Amino acid sequence: MQFINSRCWTAFATVLITALIAPIGGMTSIAATRPVARVAALSHAKPLTAAVVGTKQAATETSPAPRAIAVSPTCIDLSGNFARAQLVVSAAALSGQVTPRSEDLTSQAKYVSNAPNVVRVGRDGAISAAGNGTAEIRILIDTPRGALTASVPVTVHGFESQPHIGYARDIAPVFSKAGCNMGACHAAQYGQAGFKLSVFGYEPSADHAAITRDRSERRVNFLEPEQSLLLKKPTLQVPHGGGRRMRIGSTEYATLAAWIAAGAPGPSAHDPTVTQISVTPSRRITVPHARQQLRVEALYSDGVRRDVTALAKFDSMDEGVLSVTPQGLVTTNGKGQAPALVRFEGQAAICSFVVPYSTDVRLVGWTNQNFIDELASAKFRELGVEPAGLCSDSAFLRRAFLDAIGEIPSIEETRSFLASNEPAKRQRLVDRLLGLTSDPKLDTFNDAYAAWWTLKWSDLIRNQSNDLGEQGMWAFHNWLSESFRSNKPFDRFVRELVTAKGSIYTVGPANFFRVNNNPADCAEATAQLFLGVRLQCAKCHHHPFEKYGQEDYYSFAAYFARVGTKPSQEFGLFGNESVVIVRRSGEATHPRTGAVLKPKPLDAPPADDPLDRRVVLAKWLTARSNAYFAKSVVNRYVSYLLGHGLVEPVDDLRATNPPSNPEMMDALAKHFVASGYDLKQLLRVIMTSRLYQLDSQPSPDNAADRKFFSHFNVKRLSAEALLDAVDQAAGTRTKFTSLPLGTRATELPDAEYQNYFLKTFGKPVRASVCECERSPDESLAQALHTLNGDVVTEKIADSKARLARLLAAKASGDRIVEEIYLATLSRFPTSAERENAAHFVKESQNRTECYEDLQWALINSKEFLFVH
């Protein structure tokens, strides 16, 4: 293989000139090319190229004339001078029923108030109070079949000449709607133009003081409210760097003016707070260029419900599918599925929109293997997406091995599986890999299974010697390994971890509290790992996309406030041993108010334990009623197997980040709980589904799909699995420092191994609990390392490698080619590949070099570097 080094610069130039990121099964990969023309034809694998985006038949974009209409709400109660509400008019069945497919007619309707002195109504169905009394809003829609009418009764009360304005209920939402308390405006670190507000208004008392007291009260004019800078700047009566934020005469303007006239009263501890918001409709199935008016209702802690559509903030979570105006009018721009996000006073909700790609979906050849397939096929029909066909046996074999145990199959396994005609051989293979056959002669992969999943969770739980020392790292590793080897129920696994105490050298899970050595880190790691909740934002202010605030954050952290460590000399004076203990005292306090907070789970009442608070937390965390626990685990494992989570990022589960298939998420979570939190059963049900077994090659009908699993999502091999695969294909072994020869990369206990190959391909240093630390992206360094690095070439040419043994045994050329393909790609070569290999061997002056070139080309192929 000398010519590889001699042509290094040629290869480098070739890599730069050719497309390094080549399409593979709808995703991307490094394009492997060798600067020798004859190598290019050695592998004739099926091209894994992206198909042209398209659909069979566009979804119908016109709707029949409605025969009936329905109006929401059916009656309205407005309280106070500045109360408002939003009407939503929908096409309905003759029975009056409204479904997710009902057309929105709000912008087409005509509205008339029979008492404008009581209630006013705009052209968009927005109504506002004008005086005390009762009135009726008449709605009219002209259709080819005739006029459709409806009416909504309205009651207005509490309209006063000097209205009472509450800061929390009336004023804070105005600043939020205008964007004044956003990080890009007055909530920036130092504010804007000397005026600073808290982020999202999380500190109302400080905001009130900044508005009314700061700069010698120059921002408000109690004698002439209209002359207040607080009104003149956002209406551009005087220069304002933030531009126009409201108009003179608007309800927001009148609300602020009335508040200033009343002396600008501040927030009170007795003010009711918003506990929940709801959106109407919550789901819509429609066509491109359709419109939908949203209506938002807030529920307050005193039980009052209030229409807050005019003050809510609206955002699109995917501009390619939908856009939304500040008034809550959604327009669908393209096809797919996406939510519209609604926020109001610390609460968030969504309305999901589905715009089908096609109306002609046949699901040719599809058969349901289990409940996953039933729910997947229902989603395909709803979206109008035709799924790919089944993958080949060789692709499934390799996929299942790599996903279940992190290895490629041996030549013997490949020959046996491909030769079998058993109808259920794929299910039998999965059972063997997971050790579920109950036959010791067949359940031979348990050690590999334990090593693979120990590696996965060691990354997440951050087991590494820099923080724990060698002894602590090994103790943690051994506990993890034994947990997966014995298939410990995952709820028990988590309880042991969260409540661990004792020596970090003898009690493996106690190291969790050595890595996370303060209550804040413990709370954040626990929530993200086992609930899929990212609490970090709530540490300083209210979470921008969640319902959690600082009180939730520090009440959750209180469960770890009494956890500490003490030194021990049991292992000698220089052993540096630590013992995790639970102290008798220790509390969490609110950083702003200084109040001591009782330990409280997320979305649950406070709960404590006099001996160890963590026991209560662990019980709540793993309770069957805690849907977040099961869903977070399920979502993580779906991403491992299917290449994409039902929720992305996989550890960011929240109401404003909904699953792509909520029904599948719920069903998998229920299955996981019913199995007794059995991870192997979770893996089995996914791997035996037809969905998991789909081909990775997209078709013109599903090429645009990236999150509904209509074709298998191609995944790059992780650094450790790739190095092991190169070793197994070449028939060599890598020696790691301080570990015996034969230790596989997937068995490495620590993050700290000075191996350039692993570092180049993204082995994480375990500095974060986020899945994102192990990047799946390809790089030029990776391409050059396999193309021109010494690792691959030296392993192929090793005197004890597979190829050397075959040549020494004087094996036939056809057998050598066959074994190279079986060992590297887990399949037999095609007839064309056999012919090409024979032709090049015949023409080659160096038979050994030709076979080395062949294996080098296969190892650098996308078919080897990716799980497909």
Reported as a single tens digit per residue, the pLDDT across 590-637 is 888 889 999 999 989 999 999 999 999 999 999 999 999 999 999 999
Going by C-alpha positions, the residue among 123, 86, 125, 89 that lies closest to residue 105 is 89
How far apart are the C-alpha atoms of 557 and 518, rounded to whole Å?
A: 9
How confident is the model over 707-716, as a mean pLDDT?
A: 94
Position 853: which residue type? D
Alpha carbon 317 to its chain's center:
13
The Cα-based distances of 2 to 7, 846, 848, 849 in angstroms read 9, 12, 12, 9
- 84-86: strand order across its sheet: 84-86, 126-129, 119-121
**pLDDT tens, 154-180?**
999 999 999 999 999 999 999 989 888
Q: Which residues contact 859 (CB under 8 A, 6 or more apart)?
A: 726, 729, 730, 786, 792, 796, 824, 865
Count of C-beta atoms within a 10 Å radius of residue 831: 9
User: What phi and psi values does residue 772 have, to the nearest 5 degrees?
Assistant: -70, -10
Predicted confidence at residue 661, as pLDDT, reads 96
- Residues above pLDDT 90, as percent of the chain: 70
Confidence band (pLDDT; 50, 70, 90) for 56? very low
3-state secondary structure of 276: strand
Domains of the chain in start order, with CATH, are 2-53+717-867 (no CATH), 167-261 (no CATH), 271-355 (2.60.40.1080), 393-441+674-714 (no CATH), 448-661 (no CATH)
Going by C-alpha positions, the residue among 635, 697, 633, 703 that lies closest to residue 665 is 635
Higher confidence at residue 11 or residue 389? 389
Q: Where does 63-175 show beta strands of DSSP type E?
A: 68-72, 76-79, 84-86, 88-92, 110-113, 119-121, 126-129, 133-143, 146-157
Higher confidence at residue 223 or residue 47? 223
How far apart are the C-alpha atoms of 34 and 542, rounded to whole Å?
A: 54
**pLDDT tens, 440-473?**
999 999 999 999 999 999 999 999 999 899 999 9
The Cα-based distances of 799 to 675, 785, 794, 849 in angstroms read 49, 21, 9, 13
Predicted confidence at residue 783, as pLDDT, reads 85
How confident is the model over 222-231, as a mean pLDDT?
A: 89
Q: Where does 96-144 show beta strands of DSSP type E?
A: 110-113, 119-121, 126-129, 133-143
State how beta strands 283-285 and 347-355 pair: parallel
Q: Are 500 and 513 in contact (CB under 8 A)?
A: yes
Predicted confidence at residue 542, as pLDDT, reads 67
3-state secondary structure of 148: strand
Q: Are 247 and 279 in contact (CB under 8 A)?
A: no
Q: What is the CA radius of gyration of the chain?
A: 32
H helix count then E strand count, the chain: 30, 28
Burial call 760-783: b when 16+ CB within 10 Å, e when fewer = bbbbbebeebbbebbeeebeeebb
How confident is the model over 519-528, as a mean pLDDT?
A: 96
Q: What would the two tokens of residue 290 be?
A: 């359709």
How far apart are the C-alpha atoms of 736 and 729, rounded to whole Å?
A: 19
3-state secondary structure of 498: helix
Mean pLDDT over all residues of the chain?
A: 88
How far apart are the C-alpha atoms of 296 and 312, rounded to whole Å?
A: 7
**What residues form DSSP beta bridges with 149?**
140
Q: Are 87 and 127 in contact (CB under 8 A)?
A: yes
Position 247: which residue type? R
How far apart are the C-alpha atoms of 451 and 453, rounded to whole Å?
A: 6
pTM beyond 0.85, yes or no:
yes
Going by C-alpha positions, the residue among 58, 68, 116, 126 that lies closest to residue 93 is 68
How far apart are the C-alpha atoms of 853 and 219, rounded to whole Å?
A: 77
The Cα-based distances of 587 to 265, 454, 498, 590 in angstroms read 34, 34, 18, 10
How long, in residues, is the chain?
Answer: 868
3-state secondary structure of 653: coil
The H or E element that residue 446 is part of is: helix 446-461
**pLDDT tens, 354-379?**
999 988 888 988 999 999 999 999 99
**pLDDT tens, 283-336?**
999 999 999 999 999 999 999 999 999 999 999 999 999 999 999 999 999 999
Q: Are 606 and 555 in contact (CB under 8 A)?
A: yes
Confidence band (pLDDT; 50, 70, 90) for 429? very high
Q: Are 207 and 197 in contact (CB under 8 A)?
A: yes
How confident is the model over 226-255, as a mean pLDDT?
A: 90
Q: What would the two tokens of residue 26 be?
A: 């709808």
**pLDDT tens, 801-816?**
999 999 999 999 999 9
Q: What would the two tokens of residue 30 be?
A: 């490094």
Going by C-alpha positions, the residue among 850, 861, 727, 855 that lies closest to residue 783 is 861
Q: Are 499 and 580 in contact (CB under 8 A)?
A: no
